[in-house]
Amino acid sequence: MSPLLEARGIWKRFGAEDVLKGVDLSVAPRECLVLLGPSGSGKSTLLRCLNLLEPISSGSIRFKGEEIAQARRKSAVQIRRQIGMVFQNFELFQHLTAEDNVALAPMRVNGETPQRARELARQLLCKVHLPDKAGAYPDELSGGQQQRVAIARALAMQPSLILYDEPTSALDPETVGEVLRVMQELAEEGMTSIVVTHEMNFARRAASQVVFIDDGQIAHRATATEFFSGCVPDRVARFLGKIAA
Amino acid sequence: MPLFSPALLLHYLCSGPFIHGAMITLLISLVSLCLGIVVGLLLAVAQQVPFRPVRSLVVGYLWLFRGTPVLLQLVFAFNVLPGFGIVLPGFACAVLALGLNEGAYMCEIMRSGIRAVGPGQRLAARALGIEEWQIMLWVVLPQALRIVIPPIGNQFISMLKVSAMVSVIGTQELLLTADQAASMNFRYLEALSAAGIWYLALTTLFMGVQHMIERACRRRGKVESPRLSLIAPTADLEAAR
């Protein structure tokens, strides 16, 4: 199947520092790609480059067969509408209820009426198992609930791809499971996703492809079956040992 | 006549000219504050524009209005503008000078509010594909305005007192009313005390209002109404875009 998103030779320089040094990445429709790597290896930067929040220094990004890396501001906005993003710190809009957080983009971007946008929002809140939290403000929700609202917010634009940037790293251990469950359900429904995470159990259950990134380069890539069959390079094994500890 | 006549004080307090003067003071303060909020908001948003000449203009504005006395700006508007064919009544001059001056201070308040909204909020909105101006309008400003409500309240109370300067250009506000009343019979103690009591009444009233607004903001459900009233200038904001 032709890839939904294909990055070639992504190079990202911040000042004198090279954060990404020629990364190749490709994700097919309905695939779940798990991105692993030590902190500071460039995972988050890579995600932000993929949805054009950060301009890349060189390289190519093809999305649905079209080159987008050099997209102008106006078309970059259009492309971001098709790529959802979930952040480590949720970043829900603090002044809006859960429902309005989800409804904001459909209303302001797609010009939906408030009634229809809110109806869509309530459907999506059901999908993330929060049917009774529509009227709650972010600070009235637990971390896990907030992150599930954030997932619903990303789904509201009906994206073809979702990027998760360490979605469970800021959560209390007891709420991690509920977020991973929603992510896994979406993956099983065929939502294409790229997930930066250290949750190996999630990777084992949901990933189709695992990519290990270190110091701005891809150090190892494998299908999930290969990856979890145990034959990984030493560098990766050491990392896995560390996060399991 | 005794040194202090409570009857005369009471008479002044309740007399038509004093009530009228107090209302003019209130009106000048309110209108100037509104103008200041609009100007301040426009300046603060203009400061976020990634286009240097616009930001330089804002800096120039702040430099000019914060670097000269309000009294000078007031007298300037009243005495110099007519020379350029712009003849404004005293009230309009007062509102123009106080409002433009207030705008410079309000800009700093608004800017601190806008800055207090974390960059992650903008990033999240950008990731959804929302346009930059809509991010400002629907994500940043609603949160910034809630943050700036307490300092705006303080500015209003200070405005009530600063408006006394308007007496120098002959606008019949509270202080000028008191001064004129006293100059007829030299009962300065009673006339100025009456004006002082009116000022205290107005400032006390607005401290109460400010307290209520802040409390309403803390309770989530009620936040809509005060916020909406403060958002009113965004119509101008869109027009300016």
Which of B128, B148, B217, B218 is best to mutate for the A interface (most A CBs within 10 A)?
Answer: B128
CA distance B173 to B180: 11
Q: What is the pLDDT of residue A245?
A: 67
Nearest CA in chain A to B220: A137
Q: What is the pLDDT of residue B234?
A: 40
pLDDT, mean of residues B134-151: 91
pLDDT at A228 over 50: yes
From the list A120, A93, A94, A96, the residue with the least C-alpha distance to A106 is A120
Residue A214 β-bridge partners? A217
Helices and strands (H and E) in chain A: how many: 9, 10
Q: pTM here?
A: 0.81
Each residue's pLDDT tens digit, B86-108: 888 888 999 999 999 999 999 99
Interface check for B134 against chain A (CB to CB < 8 A): the answer is yes
pLDDT at B230 over 60: no
From the list B74, B76, B92, the residue with the least C-alpha distance to B84 is B76
CB A81 within 8 A of CB B128: yes
- Within 8 A of B218 by CB-CB distance, chain A residues are none
Burial of residue B124, with CB atoms counted within 10 A of its CB: 0-12 exposed, 13-18 middle, 19 or more buried: buried
Interface check for B220 against chain A (CB to CB < 8 A): the answer is yes
Q: What is the pLDDT of residue B231?
A: 37
Q: Which domains does chain B have, with CATH numbers?
A: 6-240 (1.10.3720.10)
- Within 8 A of B121 by CB-CB distance, chain A residues are 91, 93-94
Each residue's pLDDT tens digit, B165-220: 998 888 888 888 888 888 888 888 888 999 999 999 999 999 898 888 888 777 65
pLDDT, mean of residues A45-74: 92
CB B76 within 8 A of CB B57: no
Interface check for B225 against chain A (CB to CB < 8 A): the answer is no
Q: What are phi and psi of A62, to 5 degrees?
A: -110, 125
Each residue's pLDDT tens digit, B45-62: 999 888 899 999 999 999
Q: Hey, are the CB atoms on A91 and B121 less than 8 Å from each other?
A: yes
- Within 8 A of B124 by CB-CB distance, chain A residues are 85, 87, 91-93, 150
CA distance A146 to B83: 62
- Whether residue A118 lies inside any domain: the answer is yes
- Whether residue A124 lies inside any domain: the answer is yes
Q: Hey, are the CB atoms on A53 and B128 less than 8 Å from each other?
A: no
- Whether residue A100 lies inside any domain: the answer is yes
Each residue's pLDDT tens digit, B171-185: 888 888 888 888 888
- The ipTM of this complex is 0.92
Q: Which DSSP category does B138 fall into?
A: I
- Whether residue A110 lies inside any domain: the answer is yes
From the list B150, B138, B145, the residue with the least C-alpha distance to B214 is B150
pLDDT, mean of residues A23-29: 94
pLDDT, mean of residues A95-120: 95
What's the distance, CA A110 to chain centroid? 22
Nearest CA in chain A to B143: A95
Domain containing residue A146: 92-158
Residue B5 or A196, more confident = A196
Task: Kindly provide the residue ranges of all beta strands, DSSP E only, lying in chain B, ordered along the sequence.
Answer: none
CB B70 within 8 A of CB B165: yes
pLDDT at A214 over 50: yes
CB atoms within 10 A of CB A176: 19
- Whether residue A72 lies inside any domain: the answer is no
Instruction: Quote the number of domains for chain A.
Output: 1
